[in-house]
Amino acid sequence: MFPYIGLGVIGVFTYSLFLIGSIVICLIIFLVKNTMFSMRIYELIQSIPITFGFAFLGGKLIAFVSILPILIKDNLWGWSTFFLVGFVFYGALIGLIIGIFIESKRRNKPITTYTDTFLRLLPLGQGIGRIGCYFNGCCYGIQSDSLIAIPYPINGVYVSVIPVQIIEALFCLSLGIVLLTIQSNKQGFYTHIYLICYAIFRFIIEFFRGDEIRGLWIGLSTSQWISLVIIIFSLSFYLKNRNARV
């Protein structure tokens, strides 16, 4: 749609603006409502280099692996390609959690102290980021003549597609509002609510994705396989802890 915005003699990628905006908004919410979260301000600031660094690497790595068969077929794979490919959200999420794990061990604190804060804010950032995907021209839906379909430019041609970017943006923003509204003192509560809700949603919405570069393995996309693992792990962990309390 509008992947690039010209600002005089310079320009900026639209997605980058939305990405930066999502981070800024999440930080503002954290600073204004700091007492709502399990982390303190100094802990968040000190954890940013490790957590964001691993999130960046994870997003790039999964994106690279997802399209590796195509890259090998066209003889395009290599270190330069690794940095040129886009991001896969789940890769960034996995990298973020690895960074959080390292930071929690370094500070000798429960990992949920960090995940309950990061994942409580994350869906708001996701929602804003998916709007950026819409303007960037990526992550679009399958072709459709349904009532919710919209005209969308694909390879220079307008095609009627399901607006999955907007659907996911609305879901994530709604989930973010819910997580910021409900209150719980149980460690891991926000972590498991986010992971289970988003993984179920992502598994379903992937069936309506139309972009080809997502990685398909035995009929399911890379994100769907990751969603299944997250759902099984989160539900198992939740049920195990609940039974232990009983």
Summarize pLDDT for 139-173 with one digit per residue, the tens.
Answer: 889 999 999 999 999 888 899 999 999 999 999 99
Q: In angstroms, rounded to a whole number, what is the distance separating the alpha carbons of residues 83 and 74? A: 17
- Which stretches of the chain are assigned E, i.e. beta strand? 4-7, 10-13, 150-154, 157-161, 216-217, 220-221
Q: In angstroms, rounded to a whole number, what is the distance separating the alpha carbons of residues 98 and 68? A: 23
Is the pLDDT higher at 198 or at 18? 198
Return the amino acid letter for 147. L
Q: Which domain holds residue 122?
A: 4-139+165-245
Determine whether 194 is exposed, middle or buried from the number of CB atoms within 10 Å of its CB (0-12, 13-18, 19+).
Answer: buried
Checking if the pLDDT of 123 tops 60, the result is yes
Number of helices (H), then strands (E), belonging to the chain: the values are: 9, 6
103 in a domain, yes or no?
A: yes
**Coil, helix or strand for 188?**
coil
230 in a domain, yes or no?
A: yes
One DSSP character per residue, 201-235 reads HHHHHGGGB--STT-EETTEEHHHHHHHHHHHHHH
Is the pLDDT higher at 216 or at 35? 35
124 in a domain, yes or no?
A: yes
Domain count, the chain: 1
pTM, to two decimals:
0.87
Q: Phi then psi for 135, rounded to 5 degrees?
A: -75, -25
151 in a domain, yes or no?
A: no
150 in a domain, yes or no?
A: no
Return the amino acid letter for 30. F
10 in a domain, yes or no?
A: yes
